[in-house]
Copies of this chain bind each other. A is one copy, B any other.
Amino acid sequence: MKVTVWNEYRHEKTDEAVAKVYPNGIHGQIESFLKEAGLDVKTVTLDEPEHGLTEAVLAETDVLVWWGHIAHNEVTDEVVNRVHEYVLKGMGLVVLHSAHMSKIFMKLMGTSCDLKWREAEEKERIWVVNPSHPIADGIDEYIELEKEEMYGEHFDVPTPDELIFVGWYEGGNVFRSGMTYRRGNGKIFYFQPGHETYPTYYNKDIQQVIINGIDWCRPSKRAYPAYGNSQALEEIKNGQQPV
């Protein structure tokens, strides 16, 4: 399983508080625990040519992990369209935290992907509501985070294929915080925690969920379906020249 972690990598370079939590970037920390879990991981970031998401890189990626926040609009449409094509062809996509408003997630969802938010150092509890789902494997009834940014409903996304986690926040909000979607031949997992100023990606349970999510998003072992004129498709299949 080949995993590519994409990070915007801006907060870490300009905000001391973030740099202190993630000295090697958020991507560096994610890479670190995925490697420990035995995955084949590479990282790429926004400021690389083609944001690091060249044809060559995507062709060698089974699952792409995405973290972005303040520079969603700097990702070119060309790269977004390329990633979109790869997801429809079968590449998995794990979308983290503020990437809910990344161009790629919005394009795949078809909605505004907007939500309520609050930075108030508040406690979050992420409850498992789908106990037999492999993405919850190894997780207790809930994960407690001492401090997270509040993300609250209404979260303007399509009804998920599967709802796995629901978040509770001290300040009175709830959030559908772990959800899967199938789009084309690709599988998508959105997971809410991971504000840049908190050490969320050092939490063992959060790491486990991301590892599970990557595993769940692995490409299927099927040819991409054939679309279009059915007669022509059958002629091609039978080795004939379609008319």
Contact = CB atoms under 8 A, between A and B. Distances in A.
A20 to B, nearest CB: 25
A132 interface: yes
Interface string A106-121: 0111111011111010
A138 interface: yes
A138 B176 contact: no
B222 A115 contact: no
Contacts of A163: 159, 163
Interface residues of A, number: 70
Contacts of A184: 111-112, 131-132, 156
A91 to B, nearest CB: 10
B225 A137 contact: no
Contacts of A112: 88, 184, 227
A174 B173 contact: no
Interface string A193-232: 0000000000000000000000000011111111111110
B228 A134 contact: no
Contact of A156 (B125, B136, B225): B225
A82 interface: no
Contacts of A173: 127, 168, 230
Interface of A: 88, 90, 107-112, 114-118, 120, 125, 127-134, 136-141, 150, 152-156, 158-159, 161-163, 166-169, 171-174, 176, 181-187, 219-231, 233
30 contacts: A107-B110, A108-B110, A111-B183, A111-B184, A112-B227, A114-B228, A116-B226, A116-B228, A116-B233, A117-B229, A118-B230, A125-B172, A125-B174, A127-B153, A127-B173, A128-B222, A128-B225, A130-B159, A130-B182, A131-B224, A131-B225, A132-B182, A132-B220, A133-B182, A139-B222, A141-B225, A141-B226, A158-B181, A168-B174, A174-B174
